[in-house]
Amino acid sequence: MDFLAVLNEIDNFIWGPPLLVLLVGTGILLTIRLHLLQIFKLPKALSLIFRAQNAGSGDIDSFKALCTALSATVGTGNIVGVATAIHAGGPGALFWMWMAAFFGMATKYAEGLLAVKYRETDEKGEIAGGPMYYIKNGMGEKYKWLGGLFAFFGVLVAYFGIGTFAQVNSIVDITKMTIGLDPVWTGAILTIFVAAITIGGLQSIAAAASRIVPAMAFIYFLSTIGVLLVFADKVPAAVSMIFESAFTTTAATGGFLGATVMMAMKNGVARGVFSNESGLGSAPIVAAAAKTKWPAEQGLISMTGTFIDTIVICTLTGLTLVVTGVWCGMENGAALTNAAFTSAFPVFGGYMLLVGLVLFAFTTILGWNYYGERCMIYLVGTKGVLPYRLVFILLIASGAFLKLEAIWILADIVNGLMAIPNLIALLFLSGICVRETKKYMDHLKTGKPYEEYED
């Protein structure tokens, strides 16, 4: 068995039923313990995006924290990942993405809450938080090694996974396919922009994200709505097909080979988690930097990230694939979504997707640069920041020319390994999440300040 085959076996084992059950199971447990908070408190959470108090200590306001988290979360998974899931599992995969997102909202809430609850201030006076800190400060010093394990895998994901090659290759492919731009020029332009923004640290990244993320979400929303309007008569049948295919085998049609319910479920859950990152522990790293006194307040704001990412954006992508009928063709990934856009708008559909994909991938690079940097600081201190940033920029520059299958598989592996320490901590600290939630809900009724509550 060669090296690539061994990596594939490891990847299939890590992303097999045990991890998917742990990911979804954690969300189910938190949903029960928090009394369906993602349903009953969603209106409150959405209102907090723009009306949070921003009264506590922190480096950035809650809106910028959400935008930075969304910049990393809303990426190629929303376009390429959805297409891959439906291509392999049929339209029913989208239903299982919704299920993963529904329970993932409770998970993301807990992550944001714990990030604020157990954050620290580093030697430069900046806020430091995320799974490694709520493992150390919440579970206790004897579990510090588990936080170190999370941080180690976090750096690897930033360097070799979601943060670099996956995004750079997507940008290179779509620009070459749509406008014929040479990968050398794409790589050079991308490297300059990434370097200019990331050298400035969190403030620079958050400022860029708070401008780009709302704009890119709005542009992509209008683009997909445009496709759905062109095929408006097919929308009811498409929705019906999504629900039917989730519970019955999808028959082979066109270039589609057919899919079982298990295939739809596995692809939907796996791609859903990969897209919204609920349970992976990435978003709480930046949630910790939000200006707030209330851990539960930031938890609610963080929860909206999963709602926006999967329930809104992934749904729009999935519907465009189903209503246009391209899902049963021979294409896959970005080419499949491109086929959907061009079937609605033959002249400029490809350009619409180009703008969306480039913005999605670029902002993911920015967000993951910050995540990896905070993980590096946890491991070696602030002296590791400059070397980390330089290596990250070099990897972005080389990403336009590297297409090593082994690196992609390795990225998937470290992505899964990163989730395990975080999920253990979420299960261990679920009682804290319940207690902090009760405090905040009481505060909303009584106006009692945080300092008056017993810890």
Q: Looking at residue 56, what is its pLDDT?
A: 64
Rounded distance between C-alpha atoms, residue 220 and residue 359, angstroms: 10
Tokens of 19: 């991890």
pLDDT of amino acid 273: 80
Q: Any idea which residue has 């979804």 for tokens?
A: 24
pLDDT of residue 164: 84
The verdict on pTM exceeding 0.85 is yes
Question: What pLDDT was estimated at residue 433?
Answer: 97
What's the pLDDT score for residue 52? 66
* Residues 113, 32, 262, 21, CA torsion sign: positive
DSSP string, 394-414: HHHHHHTT---HHHHHHHHHH
- According to the model, what pLDDT value does residue 204 have? 84
Instruction: Please name the fold of domain 3-444.
Output: Amino acid/polyamine transporter I (1.20.1740)
Q: What is the pLDDT of residue 53?
A: 63
- Which of 425, 376, 454, 332 has the alpha carbon at shortest distance from 30? 425
Contacts of 86 (CB under 8 A, 6+ apart): 93, 94, 267, 318, 321, 322, 327, 336
State the Cα–Cα distance between residues 415 and 165, nearest whole angstrom.
14
Residue 424 is predicted with a pLDDT of: 95
pLDDT for 21 equals 85
Structure tokens at 416: 């899964």
Tokens, residue 53: 């108090």
Mean pLDDT in consecutive groups of 10 residues from the start of the chain, 455 residues: 81 82 93 96 91 68 81 78 90 94 96 95 85 95 94 92 81 87 90 88 82 87 94 96 93 84 86 84 91 92 93 94 92 86 91 88 88 93 92 89 69 84 96 96 90 79
> What pLDDT is attached to residue 103?
95
Q: For residue 344, what pLDDT is reported?
A: 92
Predicted confidence at residue 65, as pLDDT, reads 81
Residue 55, pLDDT score: 65
Joined together, the tokens standing for residue 258 give: 């057919």
DSSP per-residue string spanning 26-48? HHHHHHHHTTSHHHHTHHHHHHH
